[in-house]
Copies of this chain bind each other. A is one copy, B any other.
Amino acid sequence: MMQKLGVCYYPEHWPEAQWSDDARRMKEAGLSLVRIGEFAWSRLEAKPGILTFYWLDRAIEVLGQAGLGVVLGTPTATPPRWMITKHPDMLPVSKDEQVRGFGSRRHYCFSHEGYLEECRRITRLLAERYGANEHVVAWQTDNEYSCHNTTLSWSPAALTGFRRWLKERYGSIEALNAAWGNVFWSMDYEDFGEIELPNLTVTEPNPAHSMDFRRFSSDQVVRFNKAQTDILREHTKAPLLHNYMGRTIDFDHFALGKDLDIATWDSYPIGFLTDRAWASEEHKAKFLRQGDPDFQAFHHDLYRAVGRGRWWVIEQQPGPVNWAPWNPAPLPGMVRLWTWEAIAHGAEAVCYFRWRQAPFAQEQMHAGLLRPDSEAAPALGEAAQVALEIANAGLMAPSDAGPAPVALVFDYEAAWACEVQPQGRDFSYFRLVFETYRALRKLGLSVDILPPDTEDLSGYKLVLAPGLVFMREGLKQAFGAFRGKAILGPRTNAKTGTFDTPVPLPPAMDGLDAVVALAESLPPGTEVPVEGGGAFRHWFEHLVQESDTVVLATTDGRPALVGGKANEAPQLNYLAGWPDAELLDRILREACVELRIETEDMPEGLRRRDHGGRTIYLNYAAETIDHNGVSIPGAGVHVADPV
């Protein structure tokens, strides 16, 4: 199987006469996939029940005849205006209880039963009509779940659903009161019908209440998606996928991904840099037209895990976008680089968003492969170049991108827990994990990301699990059986399932006798220095332990990193805080030496990824970098064949 390139296309935006010429130009550029349909509901069903699928029939035919494989989207992210008339209470509601109205997209609450039924209906209609269509090579459900903060909806429908969900989870109100600790401030309930959503309380609501609302909200997204996949499975054998976003953590992608065949994501490196990345202004300025050198890679690896090995970039930024706070243009070469990077991490396909820049509506400032006047935009040439390069490179299969020697556990529930109870205003689980990932990559390492229900770690030499607030039983046992080195902490196993502090105190892992006696959060600019260099920032835990297994200490003599019990396997370490880059580098470097994992120091901006026997170097810097005798131009790619 060879990697494919493709593009997102909106036939409904253009005169039908133009479709075949567009299809021809796509093919000429080396593209073989085209995604369509995901916002077209009002053109498929302009009035309730009045279906006009004929144009879509023809569009699929034209594109398919041109040799393009069609990815067909269900249009449920953009219900037509009449849907709101039919279901006035289907709109999502913000935390401060404002109804989020019609006029853009994603204007639905995941918990609304009536809308869910409408989605089943339109999905069934599409599946029946195109499920066996030879040109339709894959199906996409909806579009960018959770985008625009829609996972958490504070609507009447969500309240009804939440009460039902709680009743199923706890059985009796007494059990809920006990589980949440409602005795605390006389918060006991007598009936599930008394429970409200955890917003607009006088001061913070019970964190157990908030945590359950986060779990419920994620479950509703999974349920919404499954309603579509259940129907699609009845009518098609084509793989099912959804296009996830970057740094979107409000629902559990692992849980949702189980109902799909391929994980795909929308990669907007420059948009994400100004909108979603933590970095100094200096760092952002350096990578202004390239994106953060680790942000895309992190998501590639994350979604490879979500897709259980199968994943695509289904929307690849081709030029300036319109939605970030600022929208610079990519450096020449970056579209090629991003595409190569995805392939290096094992993508099966990369599709650009979008074919032709629209001259109207919300995204008219969002570049495409073509300009609005149909002239080629810079990205078209770069896409065509990659298409040729892939064809010539003879790469091995996408699945050769793994496994890596190092693994990093990522858990969406942990992210919610840290939002529910940050304890320090700027504590972000995602950031903690991402900084760990970046530290690994600066050592030239390829990384696998693991879900929290992992039960076998035997393929790895080194496993990291920072901030893993909840430790599932299976993973706990896997750590117990692990023969490599694992570095846990901070905040590991810090909460029970009902969001209590466990007694005995955390981490409460076999193989670790340390106890977290108390935790400190630290404001920006303050730190706890560690002997030998580096420091903790943001978070520091006071460890108390019986055995003498301190590996590293703070300059105040408290444990910074403790080893496991005695010298037995597993070799569990616990890190007592949030390490800065220097401390993290020291710890990881030492672990790699110990574990005989080969590292390669990466100059700023340069990254490497192993893929089968090849090593692919990606230069995110604007300037040429000379590295190990190879000169890689700014925004350039170097593929080193097996020695």
Residues of A that sit less than 8 Å from B by CB: 12-13, 39-43, 46-47, 75, 78-82, 85, 92, 96-107, 147-148, 150, 180-190, 194, 196, 198-209, 274, 281, 284-285, 288, 319-320, 322-323, 325-329, 357-365, 367, 371-373, 375, 377, 421, 423-425, 498-505, 517-523, 525-526, 542
Contacts and interface: CB of A to CB of B under 8 A. Distances in A.
Chain A interface, DSSP helix/strand/loop, else mixed: loop
19 contacts: A39-B184, A42-B183, A43-B188, A81-B187, A92-B202, A97-B98, A100-B200, A101-B200, A103-B205, A103-B206, A104-B201, A104-B206, A181-B360, A205-B362, A326-B425, A328-B521, A364-B500, A367-B518, A372-B505
Contact of A362 (B75, B189, B207): B207
Contact of A188 (B46, B180, B503, B505): B46
A456 to B, nearest CB: 32
Contacts of A12: 183
A361 B203 CA distance: 13
Contact of A360 (B147, B208, B358, B373): B208
A325 B523 contact: yes
Contacts of A104: 185, 187, 201-206
B326 A363 contact: no
Nearest to A143: B185
Contacts of A323: 204
B81 A520 contact: no
A41 B327 CA distance: 50
A92 B424 CA distance: 28
A390 B520 CA distance: 30
Given A104-B201, A202-B148, A505-B372, A187 B326 contact: no
Most buried by B among A43, A357, A521: A521
A66 to B, nearest CB: 23
Contact of A421 (B78, B365, B517): B365
Contacts of A180: 360-361
Most buried by B among A100, A105, A148: A105
A246 to B, nearest CB: 16
B85 A41 contact: no
Contacts of A204: 104, 323, 362
B206 A500 contact: no
Given A326-B523, A359-B502, A360-B500, 8 more contacts: A40-B186, A81-B189, A99-B200, A103-B201, A180-B361, A181-B360, A284-B523, A329-B518
Contacts of A357: 501
A207 B361 contact: yes
Given A194-B85, A201-B107, A520-B320, A361 B101 contact: no
Report, nearest first, the 5 A-B pairs whose CB atoms are least far apart: A181-B360, A184-B361, A42-B186, A359-B501, A78-B186
A591 B424 CA distance: 44
A181 B274 CA distance: 28
Contact of A424 (B184, B325, B503, B526): B325
A503 B201 contact: no
A201 B107 CA distance: 8
Contact of A208 (B184, B320, B361): B361
Most buried by B among A46, A202, A371, A523: A202
B365 A423 contact: yes
Contact of A200 (B98, B377, B523): B98
Given A81-B188, A187-B103, A150 B202 contact: yes
Contacts of A202: 92, 100-101, 104-107, 148, 150
Contact of A501 (B39, B147, B372): B372
A201 B105 CA distance: 8
B42 A181 contact: no
A370 to B, nearest CB: 11
B518 A43 contact: no
A22 to B, nearest CB: 15
A381 to B, nearest CB: 13
A276 B100 CA distance: 31
Nearest to A539: B326
Contact of A79 (B42, B100, B105, B186): B186
Contact of A186 (B43, B150, B365): B43
